[in-house]
Chain A
Amino acid sequence: MYSQGLMGVEETPGGEQDLLDRFQARIDAGEKIEPNDEMPEAYRKTLIRQMSQHAHSEIVGVYPEANWVTRAPTLRRKLQAMAKIQDEFGHGLYIYSAAETLGVSREEMVGQLLSGKAKYSSVFNYPTLNWADLAVIGWLGDGAAIMNQIPLCRCSYGPYARAMVLVCKEESFHQRQGYEAMVALMNGSPEQKAMGQDAVNRWWWPIMMMFGPHDADSPNTETGVKWKIKNFTNDELRQKFIKATVPQAKLIGIEIPDPDLRFNEETGDWEHGEIDWDEFWSVVKGQGPCNHDRITARRKAHAEGAWVLEAAQAYAAKQAARNAA
């Protein structure tokens, strides 16, 4: 997976006050919302946006990994990469179908991805330069995704929460296989160790950005929390991630490329260096190193796979006619 702090939502709860109050009372009582229940339009729209961004991220997220499947160092590593990639496509499909319960079609959502209108997690717009990048994506990228997704298993919208339960069951494998590949590199030759460290150096900051802008710069967090679409803020999730990751890095001799990273004894929190938000926003807006490649690859796959859909449609029509006769 890969969900990001919600991007580009200007929606504020509007509409009929009665409905909003009734709805809020249900949320506050811990009730889940199901597809045909009454819900404020802004809740529906916010969910469609968040879920479609999330699903797109799962799909686009396989491209950086697919780049190394044919050059995996052993057959075992190749098998695990392929299994993970199949899972990620599956995650996309779980979430698209959960989003469809809100009255949007998958075709519409995919169309928005292909036209460049829809966003997906910025982290996938960075290149995978060598095999070690796959190890780091599994360990840290999926590690960050897990932090984001576990709380979503308890989100207020039933179909999204249930899809997240399926997803989370599979993420642990993703993270562990990445960390294991990383351990192998860090137990290897000086060149292999250098490769591992270099990959962490390049991915650390894009992965920190996966949690989205700081809470102070994220005005929609409040609405998300109020409606229980979000149970933790971006900064809270980032903090949990750093806490979990620092000892894992230390254990295998990886240095986290942030000279300002320090543990504050008083607060019990990790303080980290400044995140380059200019870079974040430019990648979100399409200026990252691989934005163009990712969308181009997705469009190509869509166009070149069109015949499969057409053939299946022709076959289904023929079968239906035969059965009717």
Chain B
Amino acid sequence: MRENDTPLYEVFLRPRNGLSHRHVGSLHALDDQMAMQNARDLYTRRGEADSIWIVRSADLIASAPEDKETNLSPSDPERKPYRHPTFYVLPKEVENM
């Protein structure tokens, strides 16, 4: 088996409680345990995380760039402006709403 066949993992870190996990990069590892150890050594040498998530890249389901139009444009402010707060005109007297 060549190194090429070693699975790729994506690494997500949560810097501290109260924040979301954020993608930081990827790495190669043979199994989950090794991936976790590599993630710790590679991405958290200075206390960057109090929680690490890893997932096999092959298991990620991603939207296709060519679907961008159909997936995202219905919520475009140009097309459905009434979904956005600034569409609604209020009396001047109402300062903040």
Q: List 24 A-B contacts (CB under 8 A).
A: A36-B65, A90-B42, A90-B45, A93-B27, A97-B8, A97-B25, A97-B27, A97-B28, A100-B26, A106-B28, A107-B2, A107-B4, A108-B4, A162-B25, A163-B25, A166-B24, A170-B45, A170-B46, A309-B6, A312-B30, A312-B34, A313-B1, A313-B6, A316-B34
B76 within 8 A of A: no
Interface string of A70-87 (1 = CB under 8 A from B): 000000000000010011
List chain A positions with a Cβ less than 8 A from chain B. 34, 36-38, 83, 86-87, 90, 93-94, 97-98, 100, 105-108, 110, 162-163, 166, 170, 309, 312-313, 315-316, 319-320
Interface residues of B in 1-52 (CB under 8 A from A): 1-4, 6, 8, 24-28, 30-31, 34, 41-43, 45-46
B-side contacts of A319, CB under 8 Å? 31
Number of interface residues of B (CB under 8 A): 22
Determine if B61 is an interface residue (Cβ-Cβ < 8 Å): no
- Chain A nearest CB from B23 CB (Å) reads 9
CA distance A79 to B28 in the complex (A): 27
With contacts A36-B64, A36-B65, A100-B8 taken as known, whether A86 is within 8 angstroms of B30 at the C-beta atoms is no
What is the total of A-B residue contacts with beta carbons within 8 Å?
55
Q: How far is the CA of A75 from the CA of B25 in the complex (A)?
A: 33
Given contacts A36-B64, A98-B25, A315-B31, contact A93 B42 (CB under 8 A): yes
Given A93-B42, A107-B3, A309-B3: A316 and B31 interface contact (C-beta under 8 Å): yes
Which residue of A is nearest B1, CB measured? A313
Name the residue in A87, A90, A106, A316 with the highest tally of chain B Cβ atoms < 10 Å from its Cβ. Answer: A316
Contacts of A37 in B (CB 8 A): 65
